[in-house]
Structure 1
Amino acid sequence: HSSPMATTTLPRSHIRLHLPLHTANPSYPRCCRLLPSSAISSRLQNPATTTATHYPILPPAPSPSLLVAEEASLAPRRTHRFPGSVAPPCIQDSREDLDVPADDDVLRRALEVRRAVATEALVAALSGGKAGGLTYVNNLTSRMGAFVDRIVVGAAAMRRDRSELAHQSFNARARTYIQESGVVELVKWFKHNSLTYPQIAKVVCSCSGDLEKVRRMLKWLRSIYVKGVFLGRVLAKGESLMSRSFEELEEITGYLECCGVRRDWIGHVVSRCPQLLNLSLDELETRVRFYTDMGMNENDFGTMVYDYPKVLGFFSLEEMNSKVQYLKEFGLSTEELGKMLAYKPQLMACSIEERWKPLVKYLYHLNISRDGMKRMLVVQPTIFCLDLETVIAPKVRFLQDIGVRNDAVGNVLVKFPPVLTYSLYRKLRPVVIFLRTKAGVTEDDIGKVIALDPQLMGCSIAHKLEASVKYFRSLGIYHLVLGQMVADFPTLLRYNVDVLRPKYQYLRRVMVRPLKDLIEFPRFFSYSLEHRIEPRHKVLVANRINMKLRYMLPGSDEEFAQRVQEAVERRARFEAGEATPETSGAPETPSGNGNGVAAAAACQEMEAD
């Protein structure tokens, strides 16, 4: 009989010793085993003694897993290689699908492996040196491809040039190159000075492998007073700075100093506009002549460059010329334009199409002529640097909302252009609220007050308006009466109290005039005490005549003398009985408007009380 054969699993030691893969099953019966050849021949010769022949059952075919294990046992052991080494190329019979030869493909793969190893070494060095977290270091090294290539080249050169490192692996030589370059300390310093990782990578890759030159450049920048927080920014923005010699840089700074930029200002200028150090000396001289030909002296040019360094080194000459020609279309002369640019060089940063043309069109619709725009440019050039939609238009709508007529808004802007530069919620609205509540100006008169004297919008409430209101209230003028006086003469609140007090004392003590005369004619405070009020009062006293303030103070001296002569003649005719009292008293009769009469009546009631 026969029994099923069992397949045994061979241990790994059996595979290593190359033993036979299959053996006879010991559980088979003895009769099933193969007989010796002598026994077989004897049985063939004596068939009587021959019994039934039992043929052995062959073992099954080996499984695929066993064949793989056998092949692995026969393969040679893989030789140990350090990380980054190149495996020998596998020669293929057919290379029709490859676009490059076998040698180039091998070299390319080898270079990629070396770059990967150098990148890992750089990441490990930066992380170990506490230059930043892992994400920061990975982002930084991903932009430092040029420096990684220098690590690969430098580590390979160490094996040839330095015998003490020839026996070391590529990894060890790469770490040595990174350590000797000092890139870790340099990255930490840049990060401490608030440089972003793209800027750090740009500076490190632009130094052509000589990080020592970066340190020398930082020392030179400190010598021209560039502050530490701007050192990295100057290196990152100065594209060709690392490729220039220190002699060329000294020529540029020396020329700027000769043109009016003080030595201690150069650091500030270079910090705000590092592109200046990228210019050649000839190009810099051309740009300087562009401004000096407008009539700028050294002081104006130096302060202009200090206020806005980009005006000299950031914009192209074509762009600067086009903006100057556009500004000249408003009627500005070359000298006026030079003074304006010296005062507000930020005009060069404004776009003609996006900023100036829409603003000019908007001002034209407000009935502002070209001469008015010219005055706005000369008085307040900042207006042409403001945004139309977010800054100028809301303030114009505010003026219209408080009662300024549409045809008067343009006159307000031309008369006082700085009104467009003030904050709407911190300056303009508080002034209007103060005039309405504290100064007594009514809602119907507030628009007229602003239209007559828009300079009120620029006065300080705490230091100017409030002090003036308190002074007039201390004279006994009621709240509503003061509002009527301000409506008649809005400039009243802009005078200094020290100027108002002597004039009021002279009016009450020397001229012996009642308070109602002041209420009827608040412009009294606009005339000079020494040159107008006192001399004319003496003339009236000498001629024994009296006039209302509105006839006494306005007009020239010739007109005043003529009025005095007419009053003297009328008095003489009256004394001679040739004139009636009504005729002789015409100049002395007040001829104010309704507000003045009402204010005088209120004052009389106040004095009666």
Structure 2
Amino acid sequence: RCLVEEIGVPLARLGGVLLSFPRLLTLRAEDVLRPVAGFFRDEVGMSTEALGKVVAAFPQLLAMNVSRHLRPTVQWLCAVGVAPDKLERIIRQHPKTLGYSLDRNLRPKLHYLCDEVGVPRDRLGRLVAAFPQVLGLSVELNLRLTVQYLVEEVGVSRARVGKVVATFPQLFGLSVERNLRPHAAFLVDEVGVPRERLGRMVESFPHLLAYNLDDNLRPSVRYLRDALGVPQGRIGRLVAAHPQVLGYSLEEKLAPMVDYLVGEVGVPRECIPALVQRCPKLLGCSIDRNLRPTLRFLEDEVGIPAALLGAVVAKYPTLLGLSVDRNLRPKLDFLRHEVKVADDALGQIVVTCPQLLAYSLERRIKPRYRLLSTRGLRLGLHSMLAPTDQAFYQRYGDGLASFPAVARALLPSDDSATGNYYWHKDMAALAAAAASA
């Protein structure tokens, strides 16, 4: 009665729970069961329904002593950086976590991850919260073999492997022989990723190694080749540059994006293969949250005719990945109000050379305009922005030595930083998809 009404074990699962752990029948409700249940409710914040599911999965929890075992383990988890609001999720996802010995299992395991693998200590809590199963894996039979494979065969840098597994600790749950090695062979032999670039690719997106070969990766490669027309010989380098492209859903992301670019934006169908090769990140953007607002901005505020938007996108697709509020609009305001570019000329300029809007406002546009202004010179946008720093400052300044002085007079800002490009926001979604694959 206590198991069902107070602890929340589903009645339909009670028989199986007692069969798997018959010792439950010998545990007194007052002395053992209720104190354990009270600990999970009052100190962990777990509901009765959640506790019942945890006990059904791992009934041995109810036999553990609160003061000698459960509370010290929970306190240790918080001490290594697990957020208190993540404790319930960890226990529900992997209830055996609380059954491991602190001295024989938990502390040595995290010592290995930090001191030998190189996982930053400030990321331990998030690592455990993301993949608590790592606490039950053997250092010698699982963790060390995975790290050795990533470094010695895949080519992940020894200095960066700690951050790789901190980013995606689920790698430790994948078998080297059944998962990791077949994935690496597929990427090199079938996709065409250059072997020397495999390690860097995994460093940038380790989640790719968790996607199902037949359900996810092979269909994505076929779609890029057969539906979009990307030459087989180019797919490997495309994936090496942006491995996330193989994680996008065909039905929910890739096909709708191509239909939108061709059908609504007006990108010529024959330009799609080149567009995808030049800017595969564009395929991960949201049509409604990113592309439509950007195209509306280009048409309404920059002054590009709707009929020419497709040609502009085909010529420079990266433009659609730039944030309107953080990137494009500040540049437009500066060009209009400071550089005094006429409204009717701006759209024509961008149609001719759309990459002008991709140059950094703080590191390229402002310093060059400032230098020209001090010299009483006025150039067209293309002449002002297109030349390399070396060519520009040798011609209009005192060589490259003048560039730092000009740049320091401004507040530097890197337009490549997260937030200025829409595709930075898709990493979390892809990571979640890989973790559940």
Whichever residue aligns with residue 290 of structure 1, its letter is Y
- In structure 2, relative to structure 1, the CA distance for the partners of 1:539 and 1:455 (3 Å cut) is same
Q: How does 1:193-592 map to 2 (within 5 A)?
A: 193=10, 196-202=13-19, 205-207=22-24, 209-212=26-29, 213-225=32-44, 226-238=46-58, 240-241=60-61, 244-246=64-66, 247-262=68-83, 265-284=86-105, 285-293=107-115, 294-313=117-136, 317-329=140-152, 330-365=154-189, 366-400=191-225, 401-474=227-300, 475-498=302-325, 499-501=327-329, 503-504=331-332, 510-511=340-341, 514=345, 515-529=347-361, 531-533=363-365, 536=368, 549-563=381-395
* CA positional deviation for 1:539: 6.2
Deviations for 1:347-394, whole angstroms, at most 9, x for unmatched residues?
Answer: 122222222222111110222123432233222221111111101111
TM-aligned CA distance change 1:199 to 1:233, over 3 Å = farther
Aligned residues with identical type, % of pairs = 29
- Alignment check: 8 A CA contact 2:80 2:125 kept: yes
Q: In the superposition, relative to structure 1, how do residues 307 and 548 fare at CA in structure 2: closer, same or farther (>3 Å)?
A: same
Deviation digits for residues 562-608 of structure 1 (CA, Å, limit 9, x no counterpart)? 5569xxxxxxxxxxxxxxxxxxxxxxxxxxxxxxxxxxxxxxxxxxx
Partner letter of residue 520 of structure 1? T
Tell me, yes or no, if the aligned pair for 2:10 and 2:52 is still in contact at 8 Å.
Answer: yes
Which one-letter code corresponds to 1:384 in the other structure?
L
Q: Distance in 1 between matches of 2:306 and 2:10?
A: 60
- Paired amino acid for 1:229: E
Look up the SS of the partner of 1:555 in the other structure: coil
Structure 1 residue 452: Cα displacement: 0.4
Letter in 1 for 2:96: Q
Classify 1:494/1:248 alpha carbon distance in 2 versus 1 (closer, same or farther; 3 Å): closer
**Structure having the larger proportion of residues in helix:** 2
Whether the 8 Å contact between 2:202 and 2:208 is mirrored in structure 1 is yes
Helix, strand or coil at the partner of 1:425: helix
Q: Extract unaligned runs of 5+ from structure 2.
A: 398-437
Aligned residue runs from structure 1 range 114-129, under 5 A: none
* Shift, 1:440, TM fit: 1.5
Contact 1:227 1:267 in 2 (8 A): no
Secondary structure of 2:234's counterpart equals helix
Output the aligned Cα RMSD: 3.2
In the TM superposition, what is the alpha-carbon distance from 1:444 to its structure 2 partner?
A: 0.7
Pairwise CA distance, 1:516: 3.5
Instruction: Between 482-491 and 232-241, report the one with greater CA deviation.
Output: 232-241
Q: Secondary structure at the match of 1:477?
A: coil
Partner Cα separation in structure 2 for residue 378 and residue 316 of structure 1? 22
3-state SS of 1:207 partner: helix
Q: CA deviation at 1:237?
A: 4.1
Deviations 1:62-110 (A, max 9, x none): xxxxxxxxxxxxxxxxxxxxxxxxxxxxxxxxxxxxxxxxxxxxxxxxx
Higher RCO structure (Cα 8 Å, ≥6 apart): 2
Look at both structures and tell me which one has the larger radius of gyration over its CA atoms.
1
Task: Report the alpha carbon displacement of residue 276 of structure 1 after superposing the two structures with TM.
Answer: 2.4
Cα offset for 1:501? 4.3
Question: 2:429 maps to which residue?
Answer: none
Residue 333 and residue 446 in structure 1: after superposition, are their counterparts in 2 closer, same or farther (change >3 A)? closer
In structure 1, runs of 5+ residues without a counterpart are: 1-183, 566-609
